[in-house]
Chains A and B, each alone.
Chain A
């Protein structure tokens, strides 16, 4: 597998967790979520975040409302539901366990990061 494909898969796999974390305890709209993701270099095409948000909303992990008068156009605000918070917590635990395991393997091969 080409390195860029591997990176794309890695991004895709992490995106759902990153979106849940970007929303966090607040109420955020699409562009605001994207700004939180930008620093992590997780989004290739900005428009692909909206289908993910729509799916998370359909699955009951997010609650969404259209709000008028806060921007040039109505904004769709997203908020974590109780099940969304539980999912985020669970995903964080799993991600930490996985990342910790990989980090240990990297250290054993390449040595500790300075």
Chain B
């Protein structure tokens, strides 16, 4: 069947959503190649379809068989998640890989939890630095029933946080430092896990 403008628009829409979904976890070149291949698939199916009972239903049937853009993108992301994280090092890819590995074994779970804690600490320090100028009396070092650090809402009565605005550069430097170190350790660990997987695959072939 030959697609009308409405059909073409439906195909373009599908490919657009697929492209956007893929770019969340894949690099641009890989996403472009994947979209090109899926488009080739749709065009082949459309060309061989008699277009019955009508173009709209026939095209929907083709797209349903193919799977939704999010289903296809999720399948790509599962296949390349480790490689993207280890080679590309994108934060989203590393976090997704850690989440994935956390569910595969006890060792993976504990290492992933440690790394997640590192990311959370780094992010918390940066958020603290960002909150200080907005809530100067709620954020800082608290010496009140023990020592604590961070934001308190509402601020304890009669207690002023220590550290003043000095905590902004300190938190920024410490937060970024922890994030960078955690990210580097995470990438290195994922590269090791990936290498072990590749080695075991190669061994199985011998």
**A contacts, CB < 8 Å to B:** 29-31, 44-48, 50-52, 54-55, 58-59, 66, 71-76, 83, 86-87, 90
Chain B positions within 8 Å of A, measured between CB atoms, are: 30, 33-34, 36-41, 43-47, 65-68, 71-72, 75-76, 78-80, 83, 198, 201, 204-205
Contact A73/B43 with A46-B66, A47-B66, A55-B79 known, Cβ cut-off 8 Å: yes
How many Å from the CB of B90 to the closest CB on chain A? 17
Q: Is the CB of B80 within 8 A of A51?
A: yes
Instruction: Tell me how far the C-beta of B37 lies from the nearest C-beta in chain A, rounded to whole angstroms.
Output: 5
Q: B44 contacts which chain A residues (CB < 8 A)?
A: 31, 71-73, 75
Are the CB atoms of B30 and A90 closer together than 8 Å? no
B204 x A47 contact (CB < 8 A)? no
Leading 3 A-B pairs by shortest Cβ distance: A45-B67, A47-B72, A47-B67
Residue pair A54, B40 in contact (C-beta under 8 Å): no
Smallest beta-carbon distance B18→chain A, Å: 8
A73 to B3, CA, bound (A): 14
Contact B80 A48 (CB under 8 A): no
Tell me whether B80 and A55 are in contact (CB under 8 A).
yes
* CB < 8 Å neighbour of A30 from B40, B67, B80, B198: B40
**Contact: B40 with A75, CB < 8 Å?**
yes
Set B40, B76, B83, B198: member contacting A73, Cβ < 8 A: B40
User: Are B201 and A54 in touch, CB under 8 angstroms?
Assistant: no
Using CB atoms, name the residue of chain B closest to A87.
B205
Bound: A9/B115 CA distance, A = 30
**Is the beta-carbon distance between B39 and A73 smaller than 8 angstroms?**
yes
A51 touches B78 (CB 8 A): yes
- Rounded to whole angstroms, the CA-CA distance of A45 and B69 in the bound complex is 11
Closest to B72 in A: A47
Q: Which of B41, B75, B76, B80 contacts A31 (CB 8 A)?
A: B41
The contact of B201 among A48, A51, A59, A66, by CB within 8 Å, is A59
A46 to chain B, nearest CB (A): 5
Q: How far is the CA of A30 from the CA of B38 in the complex (A)?
A: 9
Report the bound CA distance from A66 to B38 in whole Å: 13
Chain B residues whose C-beta falls within 8 Å of the C-beta of A50 in the assembled complex: 34, 37-38, 41, 72, 75-76
Q: Which residues of A contact B71 (CB under 8 A)?
A: 45, 47-48
CA distance A26 to B79 in the complex (A): 24
Are the C-beta atoms of B72 and A45 separated by less than 8 Å? yes
Closest to A74 in B: B40
